[in-house]
Amino acid sequence: MLGQDVRSAAQDAGHEPIALARAELDITDEAVVRAAIDAARPDAVINCAAWTNVDAAETEERAATAVNGDGAGHVARAAAACGAWTVHVSSDYVFDGRARAPYLESSPTGPASAYGRSKLAGEHAVAAAAPHAHTIVRTSWLFGAGGPCFPATIRRLAGERDQIKVVDDQVGCPTFTGHLARALIELAETRPPGIVHVAGGGACSWYEFAREIVAASALACEVTPCTTEEFPRPAPRPAYSVLGTERGHEVPRLAGWREGLSDYLAVGVTSA
């Protein structure tokens, strides 16, 4: 989902992207990663590969960490070896979700799930593999036209039912991959070192997000709030994962999440 938009954003910015799908490059195989990056000789590498099944990671943490942790290190190490800058995509799940003010880059981490631990392992691996040539981008609640996502699910359910329930006690920053992709290209060009937070502007609950999706799609479905306890999942979800930044003008600011939804609907109706 994100990778497709990054490829398009790179082309739009005048670059010549080499975009490798999972079937073409297994990032858990360090030798294969090294050979692929050495052959490409890129100026920058944007790692969009990830294990994204949060619930499955609870029982398959080793496999999730092989991708999100070790694999991230393989990519950064190979990039550094050929003089390329690494832009690595991380997650709000590296935090425990107990805050009540936006998490900043310097906020203490403390993942509550296997997925979150695997993503934090990736941050450490990237920093160790390319200590002077990386930007780690924490983002949250991604949605886009290139794959399954929350708006697509809500639109489908709202088209099938008269009423749906959505949790209202989890708050975050919905982020449109089309917007994030352009920011990742900018970061690959400007190369601010270390960790940056880049997410859709504003914050909302999943319930508020769902209501906006249904209204914007003109669907006749009632959206009602419920608690996380009413819909238990294998992996704990952060109750609050709003991301802020203390990095100033070196960090791109994304449009608000409502604008992101509008742009998603403009391009994503068919795929949804």
Catalytic residue among 103, 115, 240, 264: 115
Rounded (5°) CA angle 264-269-243:
25
In the residue annotation, 115 being an active-site residue is answered as: yes
3-class SS letters over the chain:
CHHHHHHHHHHHCCCCCCCCCCCCCCCCCHHHHHHHHHHHCCCEEEECCCCCCCCHHHCCHHHHHHHHHHHHHHHHHHHHHCCCEEEEEEEHHHCCCCCCCCECCCCCCCCCCHHHHHHHHHHHHHHHHCCCCEEEEEECCEECCCCCCHHHHHHHHHHHCCEEEEECCCEECCEEHHHHHHHHHHHHHHCCCEEEECCCECCEEHHHHHHHHHHHCCCCCEEEEECHHHCCCCCCCCCECCECCCCHHHCCCCCEHHHHHHHHHHHHCCCC
Active site residues: 115
